[in-house]
Amino acid sequence: MVSLVIPCRYVEQAKLLARVRASPQSVTYSELFNFCCDVFGDPRQHGTSHAVFKTPWPGDPRVNIQKSKGGKAKPYQVDQVLAAYDKLMKEADNG
């Protein structure tokens, strides 16, 4: 019998993804920031009002996130992060 061990961070990431997809307006900035670091790597800019993450596509595409009131992530930016993540996963599956 083969035992499959899934690292805890992937389980946490999957749970966060499910919650984010269900309710983008409830995501905190720190949750989205950590998710972006896991997926896209370290931000090329942070410590200001924005965090900017590089994506692997030609040109200069990037994911930009910033805090909204109450420490939440801006919902339209959550949608942009999800779109970039989905594109990345689709390319990984095809490549």
Considering only CA atoms, give the Rg of the chain: 14
Dump pLDDT digits (tens) for 37-82.
Answer: 999 999 987 677 789 999 888 886 889 999 888 999 999 999 999 9
Dump pLDDT digits (tens) for 4-23.
Answer: 555 556 778 888 899 999 99
Residue 32 lies in a domain: yes
Residue 27 lies in a domain: yes
Residue 25 lies in a domain: yes
Residue 2 lies in a domain: no
For Cα atoms 63, 65, 68, give the angle at the middle one, nearest 5 degrees.
160
Question: What residues make up the domain containing 39?
Answer: 8-94
> Is the pTM for the entire model greater than 0.85?
no
- How many structural domains is the chain composed of? 1
Angstrom CA distances, 20 to 51, 61, 78, stand at 19, 22, 8
Residue 1 lies in a domain: no
